[in-house]
Amino acid sequence: MNPERILRHVSGKQYQVWLFSSSEAAAKNFGRFFSGLPSEFYLSLVAVLLGIFYLIQRSTKLLITSLLLIFGTVLYAINYDIVDLESYFLLAYIGMSILVVFGLMFVYERVNNLKITAAVGAVLVLSQIGFTYGSVNQSGNLIFEQYTKAILKTAPKNSVIFSYQWDYFLSASYYFQFVENERRDVAIIDKELLRRSWYYQQLDNCYPWLTGSYKKEADVFKREVVPFEKDLPYAAQVIEGAYKDVMLAILLKNYKDRPVFIAPELVDKELANKEFELPANMKLIPDLFFYRLTDNDDYIPAADPDFVYQSGGVNNIYIEQINALTGAMLLRRAQYELSYNKKERAKLYIDKVLKDFPGTTVPQEFLEKIK
């Protein structure tokens, strides 16, 4: 047992970098809370106001408690600069729900009729269901499961996948790999979590066959990152350099023995901006979902795109991004096939884009080449 690490876990140490990051983020999220209230409460907002009026006359303590739940939560949560913030407003919604109950008590005292009050409550509940069901129903949304399973299914044996698509497949892969025991031979490494010393023990446990390839570099990084994690003076450039050495070791010490894949977000951002660089002799070959690392010009085949995505009519930024990433990679794969004059293979990937990814534009020159 390590009390210091337990304290870091309980206090959310790793996530504090996103807290109180800027006044602009707080202002944006403050507006986000209030703009979302109509969809969260709809007609019940009237009952909230009635509840406030009722408690002003009956119990200021309960009113203050409810308002503290609401505004205390909101004023703290808006300083958390993340995409999926709505779940952090839940306590505020509970506080508002308490006010709804007192709003119904206000109605009951005015009409003195339990059936009418119950009917009003039923209208509030049913109208909320009717108003929000279509937008929140996720029962037919299987895209995250299907995306993750497609990645695992098509990965060659003993592959290494390097990514930071936490919201899209990385988090889901934990369940499918270590609960359902699907493709545990595939090492999925979160590039961002490599910044945390605790993650290396997890990798040792999950992929013991891989850790020897970067143990030396990891030991250096874990030693250098200690001052940062303990809030002591630290050398940022030294830590960053050690971190990059770990990433390079994982990639360069494995690609000759097993397939190594780099996700498109790293290629389009970190590598494109030279925040992270590969040796000049290394090449990135577009595969199905990722780029494969190699050091020669030999043709490398990829799996057929026989996967399907079902979102059940739901559309949000995560679904749009999965479709965009997949469509773009299929086009890059088609371009790779055309560069080797493999028109039939290129047509296979282009047809998949045309059929399932209408948001991805296929260049006319590609269509001409596969005729």
Q: Give yes or no: residues 121 and 187 share one domain.
A: no
Q: Give yes or no: residues 294 and 178 share one domain.
A: yes
Q: Give yes or no: residues 163 and 126 share one domain.
A: no
Rounded Cα distance between 206 and 166, Å, is: 17
Task: Enumerate the β-bridge partners of residue 284.
Answer: 293
**Structural domain of residue 80, as residue ranges?**
12-136
Q: Give yes or no: residues 126 and 230 share one domain.
A: no
**Which pLDDT value is given to residue 1?**
60
**Which pLDDT value is given to residue 313?**
82
Q: Indicate whether 112 belongs to any domain.
A: yes
Question: Residue 356 corresponds to which tokens in the numbers above?
Answer: 């399932």
Q: Indicate whether 82 belongs to any domain.
A: yes
Is pLDDT above 80 for 7? no
Rounded Cα distance between 57 and 68, Å, is: 18
Q: Indicate whether 78 belongs to any domain.
A: yes
Is pLDDT above 80 for 13? no
Q: Indicate whether 170 belongs to any domain.
A: yes
**Which pLDDT value is given to residue 92?**
96
Domain end position, chosen among 121, 136, 151: 136
* 84-88, long-range: CB < 8 A, 24+ apart: 84/167, 85/29, 85/32, 86/36
Helix (H) or strand (E) holding 280: none
In the 8-state DSSP scheme, what is residue 160? E
Q: Give yes or no: residues 203 and 112 share one domain.
A: no
Q: Indicate whether 226 belongs to any domain.
A: yes
Question: Residue 273 corresponds to which tokens in the numbers above?
Answer: 């901006």
- Residue 348's Cβ-side half-sphere holds a number of Cα atoms within 13 Å equal to 15
Rounded Cα distance between 177 and 238, Å, is: 34
Report yes or no on whether pTM surpasses 0.75.
yes
**295-348 per-position pLDDT tens digit:** 999 999 999 999 999 988 888 889 999 999 999 999 999 999 999 999 999 999
Q: Give yes or no: residues 128 and 166 share one domain.
A: no
Q: Give yes or no: residues 345 and 201 share one domain.
A: yes
**Which pLDDT value is given to residue 80?**
87
Rounded Cα distance between 40 and 269, Å, is: 36
Rounded Cα distance between 221 and 196, Å, is: 9
Is pLDDT above 80 for 10? no
- What are the distances in angstroms from CA 138 to CA 30, 126, 142, 171, 324? 26, 19, 8, 18, 20
Q: Give yes or no: residues 216 and 347 share one domain.
A: yes
Instruction: Domain count for the chain, please give it.
Output: 2
CA-CA-CA-CA dihedral for 214, 258, 263, 280, to nearest 10 = 70
**Which pLDDT value is given to residue 299?**
97
Is pLDDT above 70 for 65? yes
Domain end position, chosen among 91, 114, 136: 136
Name the band, by pLDDT with cuts 50, 70 and 90, for residue 178.
Answer: very high
Domain end position, chosen among 114, 136, 158: 136
Q: Give yes or no: residues 224 and 262 share one domain.
A: yes
- Residue 329 near residue 263, CB atoms below 8 Å: no
Name the band, by pLDDT with cuts 50, 70 and 90, for residue 138.
Answer: confident
Rounded Cα distance between 161 and 155, Å, is: 9
Q: Percentages helix, strand, coil for the chain, rounded to the nearest 5?
A: 65, 5, 30
Is pLDDT above 80 for 2? no
**229-242 per-position pLDDT tens digit:** 888 899 999 999 99
Is pLDDT above 70 for 117? yes
